Structure 1
């Protein structure tokens, strides 16, 4: 009997039970988490290491991670080449404006699909899903012609208008997120508001939106980051005017060569400056995520995206 109890305790210690995980399970779990963390952190650490290298360190095959000295000139050149203040302003207008527009109009559309009954609702929702599956590259030519006829090419409205109509980058996905979230809310809340004389929009604004903060945060962060990194549609509709940071990286070498003509061609192979420019581009959304990370994780769990 004593021997059997000892075996059971050892098994629980190693493999756990319903209440806690064992040592072996925890070791495997942490091993997977460390591997995944290294997979994502290694490129970021390489970028940080490279952006502080001098040209001599970059060409030295014996130096991989730790430079012999820290060079801040790369950040200065990247700041100048990106035209960082102007490009940052353009990125905030495009990303922030689109994110706010998609949060409001996609939530309104998601509420309509989830709570209102109207003819053709299921057919329209099916078409919405199809629009999410269609690659944007197949629609860029008619979209370009449409905005050209409207006189919106080269302006922010070419990017903001689709978001303000409940579409834009991944707009269909955001409608689906809001729809699924609103479907989980109790019907009694809506019925009570309707009994008090509230109309559909008042129910949406006074009852549904205050409860939808997790979904709002998830959609805002996703929309902000996706518009921040988007280059295909943005490049086609904006052209070369008022380009955001994501497009400024393509013009980095050209701008620096124009500022320093005596170094023509030297920036084409200068990886240190490109790494510094990449760091400046990813820092704003990274800071936004770091600030909202706690609420973002809670929002992902409540909106059901983990499923």
Structure 2
């Protein structure tokens, strides 16, 4: 009887989340979720390194017989990767830095300062978060053309300096959530020592906001890096477009070649290679910042 009880506890567990059945079910869910996310990436990597013989051989599915880097070199040449990478990096880093700072100021004001009509302003902030970007792009395009900054990165960078831009309202909400959870005694002690509002923000609150800063910076960087819509609106005639726009141009070139000379077996591998070159920098960035990013998400309350 005692052995049966031990066996039952080992299989089911004394608690619902301690038994073998629960752990097997949990690992099954995790493996399925990982497979769903990793399968496209694995398919992309294995396809872009196949040569013509492996592409035509139906028995070669996941593991190619020969490691062929010609597709990757072709995608590198078509993308003009060093220039496009530099433009994407400059654009993403600048927007991320501007939004990280400006949204922190706005989030602190919404969380801590007594601002006239603050509920009304926060309501407008929520509207800016809800309204799709496509509804406001036309007047922004007209203004950029009148000012003479079309086909430059200025219309994408300048809004980020004022807490706007891609997902700016969300970043303000993240900072507001974080600053709202900090004890008020820290600010009161700083003000007793004679610190002004600006000094309290820079010397007290910002050092505590490192998790929120990291989350906002990574979100802003990745979303700007992957964004196709704004570059397609503002940088249509740019000589060297960012990577997100360059991939679209290569896809159009491949379609035109297919219409002229017929379909090619290298169309898919080259498309996969361009996509791989596009997503590689964010993957490397996340690989180094994963631990701090997860900690920041937990501490800023995004998961709530």
What range is the shorter-chain TM-score in?
over 0.9
Aligned residues: 301
Q: Pick the aligned partner of 1:22 from 6, 19, 24.
A: 19
**Are the counterparts in 1 of residues 103 and 172 from structure 2 also a CA contact under 8 Å?**
yes
**Are the counterparts in 1 of residues 71 and 266 from structure 2 also a CA contact under 8 Å?**
no
Structure 2 residue runs of 5 or longer lacking an equivalent are: none
Cα 1:210–1:267 change in 2 (3 A) is farther
Does the alignment pair 1:212 with 2:217?
no
Q: Pick the aligned partner of 1:248 from 246, 249, 258.
A: 246
Cα 1:152–1:26 change in 2 (3 A) is same
TM-score normalised by structure 1 residue count: 0.92
Matched with 1:92 is: 89
Does the alignment pair 1:46 with 2:40?
no
**Are the counterparts in 2 of residues 153 and 237 from structure 1 also a CA contact under 8 Å?**
yes
Matched with 2:164 is: 167
Question: Following the alignment from structure 1 to structure 2, what is the Cα–Cα distance between the partners of residues 20 and 35?
Answer: 19
Q: How far 1:191 sits from its partner (Å)?
A: 0.7
Does the alignment pair 1:239 with 2:261?
no
- Higher mean alpha-carbon deviation, 270-279 vs 78-87, is at 270-279
| Alpha-carbon RMSD | 2.3
Question: Following the alignment from structure 2 to structure 1, what is the Cα–Cα distance between the partners of residues 18 and 129?
Answer: 40
Does the alignment pair 1:106 with 2:106?
no
The secondary structure found in structure 2 opposite 1:300 is helix
Matched with 1:78 is: 75
Q: How far 1:15 sits from its partner (Å)?
A: 2.9
Question: Following the alignment from structure 2 to structure 1, what is the Cα–Cα distance between the partners of residues 8 and 299?
Answer: 35
The secondary structure found in structure 2 opposite 1:64 is coil
Cα 1:188–1:158 change in 2 (3 A) is same
Question: Following the alignment from structure 1 to structure 2, what is the Cα–Cα distance between the partners of residues 63 and 268?
Answer: 14
**Are the counterparts in 2 of residues 257 and 267 from structure 1 also a CA contact under 8 Å?**
no
Which residues of 2 match residues 256-275 of structure 1 at below 5 A?
A: 270-275=267-272
Structure 1 residue runs of 5 or longer lacking an equivalent are: none
Question: Following the alignment from structure 2 to structure 1, what is the Cα–Cα distance between the partners of residues 100 and 132?
Answer: 22
Question: Following the alignment from structure 1 to structure 2, what is the Cα–Cα distance between the partners of residues 20 and 54?
Answer: 48
Cα 1:17–1:210 change in 2 (3 A) is farther
TM-score normalised by structure 2 residue count: 0.93
Does the alignment pair 1:125 with 2:127?
no
Q: How far 1:253 sits from its partner (Å)?
A: 5.6
Question: Following the alignment from structure 2 to structure 1, what is the Cα–Cα distance between the partners of residues 108 and 196?
Answer: 13
Q: Pick the aligned partner of 2:278 from 276, 281, 288.
A: 281
